[in-house]
Structure 1
Amino acid sequence: MIDLSNKVTIITGGSRGIGAACVRLFVKANSKVAFTYKNSKHIAEDLEKEMNGMAKAFHVDMENENEIFDMVNQTEKIFGKVDILVHNAGIWNDGTLEKMTLEHWNELIRINLTSTFLFCKACTPIMKKNNFGRIILITSTAGQRGEAFHSHYAASKGGMISFTKSIAVELAPFNILVNSVAPGWVDTDLNNEVFADKNYKEKIRQTIPLGKIPSAEEIAGPTLFLASDLASHITGEILNVNGGSVLCG
């Protein structure tokens, strides 16, 4: 039912996890895709080959403004436009209030939140030219309820959520819709270290009313929905995809 033919999508952090699931699903929906990676060069190249000419990988440092703008500009030159931005790239790590250094705080804020601002800023003029755009930011339930011992992460995702609502109104006159998908726990390699403790993983599973920790594909599906014409009257929305574990109003 969802067909993104003639659409061009940028997916950040597209070499693995939720990002890679989005790359595959958006290509399946006939969109051309440009995706970013930082460290997973061989994985990114293999995914690019797997997509049979429908996707192109770009090495981008999420802390480098020039690389972010260059990637967006190169995407427009290669594919002719940018219709959809899925900003998924980010990091997650521990950080107690008293032991967290300013450097640790700033690094995560730059990678998660500042890169959001930069990618949206880079893509918006291109979308305005075509009077069409879809921006989907991958946030987190942590950004809505907070997350003890991960306050920097929660703050970055909370900032992304407020940013979603702010620019949704700002960009609405240009037919640019801005929404967010907010997952809870997801079974991806980002959580491999945490999930190595099988007992802890089982405890997490038991807190989810639907009784399972979702796969990356189960986050990619709602993301594709928000990029499609089925969601043409939705903007400024935070779509929770957490199996009922966190019910935010």
Structure 2
Amino acid sequence: MIDLTGRVALITGGSRGIGRATAILFAKANADVAITYLKNDESANQVIKQIKELGREAIAVKGNVGKSEDVKRMVKEVLERFGKIDILVNNAGIWTYGAIGEMSEETWDETMEVNLKSVYLFSNEVVPIMKKQKWGRIINISSTAGQRGEAFHSHYAASKGAIIAFTKSLAVELAKYNILVNCVAPGWVNTDMCAEVFSDPNFVEQVKSTIPLGRIPEPEEIAGPIVFLASELANWITGATISVNGGSVLCY
């Protein structure tokens, strides 16, 4: 039912986890896809290969999402390849431990740069393109941590909470240009970012006990709502945060 034929989607952090699943689902919906990645050439190339096997065009652009010069270059490469950007998914992110009183300034700064500054940088570069097109969809990936806070990860929670506020602000600012801006807030997801903590079976069971649906989702289950927000089915949604967490955090 969702058909994104003719659309070009740019997904940051698209070589793994939620970004990877989202890139592939966009391709299944007939969109052409660009992904960004930082280090893993093999993983990025695998995503591109999968997308091309689905009959869509795709490129991977390498760079640091928190550095302005890299972002400008990556966006330029996407434009040179596709001529436009219709959909931006600000997905790139990191999650690290940081007890307050012990957290280094470097840890705080790195989290803000990757998780939050990247959202600003890519939006700042892509919005002028979308304004000219008079059409655009921006989907920012937040977290339940940004909705309720997260002890020992206050830097992560702060970055994700700021994304929700940024989303609401841009939604009002850009509505007149037919640019819709929304947010998806996942809870725990079975990705490599969580692999270390999920290696403890007791911790996994503890997490499951906090989720009414009783299990930990796969990245594809987060990708679905993201692609929905980019589709014609979501034409009357902007400034919203969709909680995709199995009922673990109920917000209003």
Provide the C-alpha distance between the structure 2 equivalents of 1:68 and 1:34, rounded to a whole number of angstroms. 13
TM-score (norm 2): 0.97
Cα offset, 1:103, TM superposition: 1.4
1:20 is matched with: 20
Task: Give the secondary structure class of the aligned counterpart of 1:235.
Answer: coil
Matches within 5 A, 1:38-77: 38-52=38-52, 54-77=57-80
Residue 51 of structure 1 aligns with an amino acid whose one-letter code is I
1:33 is matched with: 33
Provide the C-alpha distance between the structure 1 equivalents of 2:198 and 2:57, rounded to a whole number of angstroms. 33
Matched, 1:108 2:111: yes
In percent, how many aligned pairs have the same letter? 56
Residue 16 of structure 1 aligns with an amino acid whose one-letter code is R
Does structure 1 retain, via aligned residues, the 8 Å contact 2:66–2:121? no
Give the 4+ runs in structure 1 shifted more than 3 A.
none
Q: Which of 53-62 and 28-37 deviates more?
A: 53-62
Task: Give the secondary structure class of the aligned counterpart of 2:13.
Answer: coil
Q: 1:108-145: CA deviations, max 9, x gaps? A: 10111011000000100000011000000010011011
1:2 is matched with: 2
1:173 is matched with: 176
Provide the C-alpha distance between the structure 1 equivalents of 2:83 and 2:121, rounded to a whole number of angstroms. 20
TM-score (norm 1): 0.98
Provide the C-alpha distance between the structure 2 equivalents of 1:233 and 1:48, rounded to a whole number of angstroms. 32
Unpaired stretches in structure 2, ≥5 consecutive residues: none
Residue 170 of structure 2 aligns with an amino acid whose one-letter code is I
Cα offset, 1:63, TM superposition: 2.2
Task: Give the secondary structure class of the aligned counterpart of 1:86.
Answer: strand
1:98 is matched with: 101
Q: CA RMSD in A?
A: 0.8
Provide the C-alpha distance between the structure 2 equivalents of 1:46 and 1:188, rounded to a whole number of angstroms. 17
Cα offset, 1:177, TM superposition: 0.2
1:117 is matched with: 120
Residue 141 of structure 2 aligns with an amino acid whose one-letter code is I
Task: Give the secondary structure class of the aligned counterpart of 2:182.
Answer: strand
Task: Give the secondary structure class of the aligned counterpart of 1:205.
Answer: helix
Task: Give the secondary structure class of the aligned counterpart of 1:51.
Answer: helix
Provide the C-alpha distance between the structure 2 equivalents of 1:168 and 1:57, rounded to a whole number of angstroms. 28
1:198 is matched with: 201
Cα offset, 1:50, TM superposition: 2.0
Of the candidates 87, 90, 94, which is equivalent to residue 90 of structure 2? 87
Task: Give the secondary structure class of the aligned counterpart of 1:23.
Answer: helix
